[in-house]
Homo-oligomer: A and B are copies of this chain.
Amino acid sequence: MKLRTGFVRASGYAYKVRRVLFALTRGKVSPEEVVRAAGELNVRIFEELQKRGVDKGDVVRIGVPFRIEDGKVLWDYSGLEIEVYRKEEDEKLAKAMEEVEERERALEEKISRIEELANRLKELSNELLGEIEEIKQEHTSLRLRAEG
């Protein structure tokens, strides 16, 4: 298998690597392993970007082969490819990727808000189940949690 980030601003390559890896390995690898493997790869990419003097406003495109063994992601670093497009040379591309990044931040705010509401829904459901259990305890002969 091969992970390909597609075009992405250098400032955002690490999250892009992780997102793509999540999508590629869903159901095969644990979320913890995805986070670990992406972290490992991103250190390597970071060193390379530094070596080549890449600016966060430049655009990069990264590809790297990997395989999955025993639920672990194994990177084949020998096949690592990093293309760099300088913002001075590819102005429109750099600007377009910057816009994409901005819209993602706006989306993230809304997703956070939705997550908060979903968490409150879960808490309320639990509170409701607690109240129902009290009614069962004090007003019915229904089977209780404490009866296992």
A interface vs B, CB < 8 Å?
A: 6-7, 12, 15, 18-19, 22-23, 26, 30-32, 34-35, 59, 85, 90, 92-93, 95-97, 99-100, 103-104, 106-108, 110-115, 117-122, 124-129, 131-132, 134-142, 144-147
Contacts and interface: CB of A to CB of B under 8 A. Distances in A.
A49 B7 CA distance: 26
Secondary structure call for the A interface: helix
B93 A146 contact: no
Contact of A129 (B122, B135, B142): B122
A146 B19 contact: no
Closest 9 pairs (CB-CB, A-B): A31-B146, A122-B125, A7-B96, A15-B141, A22-B137, A6-B99, A121-B125, A117-B128, A32-B146
